[in-house]
Amino acid sequence: MSGKRVVITGVGITSPIGNSIDEVSRGLREDRSGVRVVPAFGEVEGLRTRLGAPVEVDLSALPKKRTRTMGRVALLSTWATQQAIDDAGLTQDLLSSGKVGLAYGSTGGTSAAVEDFVRKLYVQKQLGAIQSATYLKFMSHTCAANLAQYYAIRGRVITTCSACVSSSQAIGYAYENVKHGYQEVMLAGGAEEMDVVHAAIFDLMFATSVKYNDQPARSPRPFDADRDGLVVGEGAGTLVLEDYERARARGAHIYAEIVGFGTNCDGLHMTAPSEDGMTAVIERSLADAHLDRSRIEYVNAHATATDLGDVCESKAVLRALGDQVPVSSTKGFTGHTLGGCGAIESVFCLAMLRDGFLAPTKNLERPHPDVAPVALLSGPARDASPSIVMNNNFAFAGLNTSLIFQKV
């Protein structure tokens, strides 16, 4: 289906390896690890992993009166969104005009607010001790709701609470809104805050990295024979999307054009991935972009360093794209930023398009024998001039996304 061309004119990011597109570009090229030992994880009896990838960013500049309903995840999303708005040169009058919409997601809200609410209600049985703003910090759409209020957004607001495809779905739905003329501009992305709850969830599934607790920079290890699980991380990414003709008319800087988006569901299992579902979503994004698979010059894989996920994804890439396209997972640098990963990794793709390189899979030394023979990137970053790149993400319940970015 034809429609308007959709371009990216603003970028905001806070991540374990940097808080701007310039910083993350350097981090990917300089082999910087964002993984650390997290002392708080050691305080929980039975929790095996000690590794996390925190963000180092000063959120104190955000006005307290306007952020009292925000927990850390919403604060991170606001910090990144302000960056993107400033980068794109959007005015407050435009943001409030109804011409601008918002699509934003996370896996959930602030865990500390949940604990505070539940403890006072169920343990202390004191309703009067609970602040009215506590729920607003942990509700599932806290990022989108708080951003809409903070920036007085009067256009469409789309909330994506879909685990690890939250922010990539948000970008895709924002792209469709601009493409079909429902909004002139969309703010899109997602965020996640790191909490012991996330580490515990994956630890209970025996999916976290534990062998490298004393060597944090060596984990996670996507696709590697010595991988032993994921590392939880945090961060936020926001993109400003608008119609190409509008962007060109106002002289906006254009990072790239979004030319393809696909999303689907396996409909099979809550946690096990599906090679068929992954293959199909890649093919859907190619069809949306009207591109032959040979045109894709790089794939940013979702690979989290888990046994089933890495292998299944590699087989899907081989089926859908062949064995020649360079593939890497940037989670070796940042850990798994969960609901924020689609947006954060999209910014990584934009950095590669802009600065002329392909990021490797950090810590990939020896591919696991079960991983399909795709062209995995390892070692130092590779100088290149990519013009069309793909970013894939997958989530619990078999939710899949694929985005294609092209240089303008």
Q: CB–CB of 154/99 below 8 Å?
A: no
Confidence of residue 53 (pLDDT cuts 50, 70, 90): very high
Q: What is the mean pLDDT of residues 364-386?
A: 98
**pLDDT recorded at residue 221:** 98
**pLDDT recorded at residue 2:** 76
* Segment 332-342, tens digit of pLDDT: 999 999 999 99
Q: What percent of the chain has pLDDT over 90?
A: 100
Q: What percent of the chain has pLDDT over 70?
A: 100
> Annotated catalytic sites, by residue?
164, 302, 336
- Whether the pLDDT of residue 201 is over 70: the answer is yes
Q: Kindly indicate whether the domain formed by 7-406 is annotated with CATH number 3.40.50.1980.
A: no
The enclosing H or E element of 101 equals strand 100-105
Confidence of residue 1 (pLDDT cuts 50, 70, 90): low
* Segment 208-263, tens digit of pLDDT: 999 999 999 999 999 999 999 999 999 999 999 999 999 999 999 999 999 999 99
- Provide CB contacts within 8 A for 145, sequence distance 6+: 136, 139, 157, 159
CA distances (Å), origin 179, targets 2, 211, 257, 335: 8, 46, 11, 32
Distance in angstroms (rounded) separating the CA atoms of residues 25 and 28: 5
Confidence of residue 171 (pLDDT cuts 50, 70, 90): very high
